[in-house]
Amino acid sequence: MASRSTGFNSGLDIGKSYYVATANPAPDHRALAGDVEADMVVVGGGCTGLSAALHAAERGLKVVLLEGGKIGWGASGRNGGQMIPGLRKGARGLVKSFGPERAKALFDLAFEARGLVLDIIERHGIECDLRQTGHLVGAVTSSDVRDFEDEAECLAKVMNFTDVEILSAAEARRMVDTPYQGAVYERLGGHMHPLNYTLGLARAAVAAGVVIHENSVAVRLEREPSIRVFTDKGSVRAKHVVLAGDALLKGLEPRVNSRIMPVGNYIVATEPLGARNVIPANVAVSDTLFVVNYYRMSADGRLLFGGGERYTPSPPADIAGFVRPHMEKTFPQLKGCRIDHAWGGLVSITTSRLPHVGHYGEVYFAHGYSGKGVILSTLSGKLLAEAITGDASRLDLFSTLTPLPFPGGTALRGPLYVLGMLWYAMRDRLRH
């Protein structure tokens, strides 16, 4: 797998990731050459695109998928693997923005992502180190614990959802060996090897009839007289197009791009920790900092720790050195431990922290999961396929979430956003 190199999106040290080093064998897919026709063309071989392709093919559509790099080369194959049900925006935020009825409908729909992913893993026999051990959010301050309590109350009252448990500092410490003020434990969360899940999804899509072309960057989208997507060596003419390039999509459809912002995020994998395991409950963990730390144990006993964001286009020269201080602040007992892998990826965020999903005519898109896309991306892909094959009701519910564009237009959104982010990151340092 490490030799499956590609020019497109090969930055941020994907080749050095723990996931690439432990990837299941997967076939190469030849690049597009010449002009072909299909019912649907998908741009992007991450979980959004693959799920859209799989579900459309299962409904009888002829589907061609173009991936600029290799399958799983984007966020889907690089992320923390934390399976966190729901949306990035909490229950109270949803109620405030949409009222209780719509908030509950959105919550229920987003929650479906968990069951969908578990079903796909089982149905297609995907080996991806799935652990249904739950997800814990550690409170950095005592006011965060009060916040958890208010959120749990809203979840119970409005969403009729009671699968969360507020933990005391001592109870949290028994699950993860770092001193939080308390925690909220979401029993229905978990974690998995995201690249192996993505490769499994690709295998399922191919079995359903999808034709995948890797190393095939979509460089131009023509809408008239019909949809046609061009690479430098060919084109796909189709009735519908799904844009599933997330943070990497760039200029194919400017209306889609103006509502997401790519942010660099970095992860390390330690040496196998053996008896020094710091997460006895083997849960996925994140904390309440604005620049969130998130971590979990891998199947072979390493700590996979994500921490630190960068709002400038260039990654840090030494990713391990960039993440290590965040890890050692959380786990001083791991000071000096060996780091075997370090890599990064681009998280696409929106102004509302809700996904941007919808369509302009026959141009469909879904992206901007704002750091909560491991399972939500598979659901979004399915909603796109449902809409394209005639039932848009559930996609329509999601597309009402449309976030505002970033202020400053495409030229200024970066600098203005960086200023805002730096302010919140500084607040983290004062709180922690």
Ligand X SMILES: Cc1cc2nc3c(=O)[nH]c(=O)nc-3n(C[C@H](O)[C@H](O)[C@H](O)COP(=O)(O)OP(=O)(O)OC[C@H]3O[C@@H](n4cnc5c(N)ncnc54)[C@H](O)[C@@H]3O)c2cc1C
Residues in 61-80 that interact with ligand X by CB under 6 A: 66-69, 73-76, 78-80
Of the ranges 44-52, 148-156, 393-401, 408-416, which one interacts with ligand X (CB under 6 A)?
44-52
The residue (of 156 and 311) whose beta carbon lies closer to ligand X is 311
Per-residue burial over 116-155, b = 16 or more CB atoms within 10 Å of its CB, e = otherwise: bbbebbeeeebebebbebbbbbbbbeeebbebbeebbebb
281: amino acid identity, one letter = A
Name 186's bridge partners: 135, 164
Residues 311-330 that bind ligand X (CB under 6 A): none
**CA dist., res. 174 & res. 40, Å (int):** 50
For residue 43, state whether it binds ligand X (rule: CB under 6 A). yes
Task: Determine contact, residues 94/106, Cβ cutoff 8 Å.
Answer: yes
In the complex with ligand X, the residue whose CB is nearer, 160 or 410, is: 410
369 binds ligand X (CB under 6 A): yes
134 binds ligand X (CB under 6 A): no
Closest CA to 16 of 266, 373, 200: 266
Task: Name which position in 40, 347, 349, 354 contacts ligand X (CB under 6 A).
Answer: 347
82 scored as a contact of ligand X (CB under 6 A):
yes
Contact 290, 427 (CB under 8 A): yes
Q: Is 9 in the site for ligand X (CB under 6 A)?
A: yes
- Residue 44 as a binder of ligand X (CB under 6 A): the answer is yes
Q: How far is the CB of 361 from ligand X (least distance, A)?
A: 19
Query: Please, what is the minimum distance in Å from the beta carbon of residue 231 to ligand X?
Result: 8
Nearer to ligand X, 335 or 377 (CB): 377
Show the binding pattern over residues 208-227: x = contacts ligand X (CB under 6 A), - = does not.
Answer: ---------xx---------
Q: Is 81 in the site for ligand X (CB under 6 A)?
A: yes
**Does 257 interact with ligand X (rule: CB under 6 A)?**
no
Euclidean distance between CA atoms 150 and 144, whole angstroms = 10
Helix ranges (H only) for 209-352 are: 254-257, 319-330
**Nearest to ligand X of 71, 159 (CB atom):** 71
Using the minimum distance from each CB to ligand X, give the nearer residue, 158 or 346: 346
- Residue 386, token pair as written in the block: 């449902």
In the complex, minimum distance from the CB of residue 113 to ligand X, in angstroms, rounded to a whole number: 9
For ligand X, how many residues bind (rule: CB under 6 A)? 47
**Contact track, ligand X, 154-193, x by CB under 6 A:** ----------------------------------------
Of 84 and 95, the one with the shorter C-beta distance to ligand X is 84
Tell me whether residue 169 or residue 282 sits nearer to ligand X (CB atom).
Answer: 282
Closest distance of CB 154 from ligand X, Å = 21
The minimum distance between CB 306 and ligand X, in angstroms, equals: 6
Instruction: Tell me the closest approach of the beta carbon of residue 236 to ligand X, in angstroms.
Output: 11
Residue nearest to ligand X (CB): 373
Closest to 294 in 3D by CA, of 377, 200, 374? 374
State yes or no: residue 298 binds ligand X (CB under 6 A): no
Residue 297 tokens, joined: 């144990």
Q: If you write DSSP's letter for every residue of 268-288 in order, what string do you get?
A: EEES--GGG-S-TT--EEEES
The strand pair at 227-230 and 234-238 is best described as antiparallel
Residue 79 Cβ vs ligand X, minimum distance, rounded to whole Å: 3
- Give the CA radius of gyration of the chain: 21
Tokens of 61: 């559509």
CA 213 centroid distance within chain = 22
Smallest gap from residue 171 Cβ to ligand X (A): 23
- In 10-150, beta strands by DSSP E: 34-37, 40-43, 63-66, 82-83, 135-138
Min. distance of Cβ 88 from ligand X in angstroms?
9
Report the 10 Å Cβ neighbour count for 301: 14
Q: Are strands 164-168 and 182-186 parallel, antiparallel or unpaired?
A: antiparallel
DSSP element (H, E) containing 260: none
Q: By the 8 A CB rule, do 103 and 137 touch?
A: no
- Which CB atom, from 163 or from 171, has the smaller least distance to ligand X? 163
Which of 133, 178, 196, 377 touches ligand X (CB under 6 A)? 377
Could you tell me if 217 and 73 are in contact, meaning their C-beta atoms sit under 8 angstroms apart?
no
Residue 134 parent element (H or E) = none
Cis peptide before 225 (omega within 30 of 0): yes
- The residue range among 60-68, 121-129, 143-151, 388-396 that interacts with ligand X, by the rule CB under 6 A, is 60-68
* Chain residues that interact with ligand X, rule: CB under 6 A: 8-9, 43-49, 66-69, 73-76, 78-82, 84, 217-218, 244-249, 252, 265, 267, 294, 306, 344-347, 367, 369, 371-374, 377
